[in-house]
């Protein structure tokens, strides 16, 4: 069996639809099969300039207006999205084994990242799809998808003192720690 590297990814956007709206921040952390950070240069975070042909979704911008300091951080020093995505693809390809995109929810983050990868690099270093942490929680809790929200998770899965920062790298690291706790239970039958 080949090894896997989990790439926990989080993004920030100015809307809900890739291409119609822009990804404005991308953060990721690389984890081994146990969900541990063991790689040198295991994080990636960059701010992206909005797409020239995209618009901003008003409801998303209203949400950001309630968090002006975070929004300023997410937009500071924004770079050309083509440069960022080429750098991201090259970074991802430095890790060994089968690369697994991990997100919460995976459909949102994966949709934007895959769109940007194809648009700006002409390819995608990840196989199709990705791992949804909420679906893994659903299976471990033996509940419905709707009841597998983070508010329903046991405290042992949540990083101690963790606060969802709404910045891509911090949130990718947080969900990576959550993944590690879930993988431990999945593979070893109980909390670590």
In this prediction, residue 162 carries a pLDDT of 62
Integer Cα distance of 157 and 17 in angstroms: 30
CATH architecture of 4-188: 2-Layer Sandwich (3.30)
Q: Is the peptide bond before 44 cis (omega within 30 degrees of 0)?
A: no
101-152 pLDDT, tens digit each: 999 999 999 999 999 999 999 999 998 789 999 999 999 999 999 999 999 9
Quick: pLDDT tens for 49-68. 999 999 999 999 999 999 99
CA distance 104 to 93: 22
Contact between residue 81 and residue 152 where contact means Cβ atoms under 8 Å apart:
no
What band does 191 get if pLDDT is binned at 50, 70 and 90? low
Residue 80: name the closest of 88, 91, 92, 72 by CA. 88
Cβ 186 vs Cβ 165: under 8 Å: no
């Amino acid at each position: 069996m080949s090894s896997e590297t989990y790439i926990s990814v989080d993004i920030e956007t100015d809307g809900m639809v890739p291409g119609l709206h822009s990804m404005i921040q991308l953060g990721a952390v690389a984890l081994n099969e146990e969900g541990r950070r063991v790689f040198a240069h295991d994080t990636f975070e960059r701010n992206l300039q909005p797409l020239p042909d995209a618009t901003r979704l008003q409801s998303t911008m209203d949400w950001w207006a309630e968090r002006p300091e975070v929004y300023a951080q997410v937009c500071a020093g924004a770079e050309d999205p083509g440069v960022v995505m080429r750098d991201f693809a090259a970074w991802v390809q430095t890790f060994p084994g089968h690369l697994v995109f991990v997100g919460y929810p995976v459909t949102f983050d994966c949709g934007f990242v895959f769109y940007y990868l194809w648009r700006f690099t002409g390819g995608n270093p990840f196989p199709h799809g990705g791992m949804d942490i909420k679906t893994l929680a659903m299976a471990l809790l033996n509940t419905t998808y709707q009841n597998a929200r983070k508010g329903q998770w046991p405290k042992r899965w949540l990083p101690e003192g963790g606060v969802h920062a709404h910045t891509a790298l911090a949130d990718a690291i947080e969900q990576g720690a959550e993944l590690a706790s879930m993988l431990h239970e999945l593979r070893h039958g109980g909390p670590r």
